[in-house]
Amino acid sequence: MSSQDRTGSRRAKVIPIAGLALAGSLALSGCTAESKNGFLPSERNITNHTAGIIDLWVNSWITVLIVGLITWSLMIWCIIAYRRRKGATGYPRQTSYNLPLEVFYVLIPLFMVLVFFYFTDREVSSIETRNPNPDVKIDVRGKQWSWDFNYLQGNEVQAAVYDTGVQAQLNGKPFDKDKLPTLYLPVNRSVELALNSRDVIHSFWVPAFLDKKDMFPGKTNYMTFTPTAEGTYDGKCAELCGEYHSEMLFRVKVVSEQEFQAHLASLKAKGQTGTLGADYDRNSAQLETK
């Protein structure tokens, strides 16, 4: 058997396997909870930012697909129109220095980049702008491998209360998600999350909110938004932070004003009042001496 025959045989086997793998991945992706929303893990009305993010994402994809179709069509047309004719010898006549065409190739991509930049900058600025007087301000502290939520101030918080989380123990068996650390937010109220880390770099991520922000020791990052749809949303740490990173899960419950106040009252009744500052942070000096 020649090497060409062996190569063809291997190719014949690889193509069906690749097709099966692609079909399998598509089928499995349809089993995820987010698949009901298509290719984005959210809907337009989850927060005041999700609609703008979705519009930017979808319109960007539509634009690049149109550009791709035009480019592929021109490539195929050139392949067919300028192919070597039967009986022809040598190279076809070469064309160069087409100034109008070259100007077109420069100006159109430049225009597209500027348009993308404008809409992206507008959306990012809207997301990153802090509210000077949020209805709820919460200090969120990530730690190996759980979360603390300290409801500090705002029009909806009369006294500081806190809720501390304990690392979830996942062993591959079904578990009660209600036992995960849970952040309560009132619907249609402006929220500012002050994101801090007690030990290493973490990342606060709620896929349904279409926003994610890293948490650094010694530095506070902020996330400002208004939840606009009641519901329970899964959250997780999105930065590899150690052995039990995969267990650093939490939930966000967007509830009515009455439910939110009832939750704050329950924390107060447990004696969980005051602020959780750096007292619970990891002491690096003590760790180095051990």
Residues in CB range of 235: below 8 A, 6 or more apart: 183, 204, 205, 206, 207, 249, 250, 251, 252
Provide the residue type at 282 as one letter: R
| pTM confidence score | 0.75
For the chain, what are the domain ranges?
1-31, 45-84+94-129, 136-273
Tell me the CATH class for 45-84+94-129: mainly alpha
Percent over 90 (pLDDT), the chain? 43
CA–CA gap between residue 137 and residue 139 (Å, rounded): 7
Among 194, 282, 203, 190, smallest CA distance to 249 is for 203
CATH topology of domain 136-273: Immunoglobulin-like (2.60.40)
CA–CA gap between residue 216 and residue 142 (Å, rounded): 9
Report the range of poorest mean pLDDT among 4-18, 121-135, 189-203.
4-18
Kindly tell me the sign of the dihedral angle through the C-alpha atoms of 267, 270, 271, 272: negative
pLDDT in tens, 10-63: 555 545 665 566 655 555 544 545 445 556 666 888 999 999 999 999 999 999
DSSP secondary structure, 261-285, as one string? HHHHHHHHHTT-BS---GGGS--HH
Q: What is the pLDDT of residue 278?
A: 75
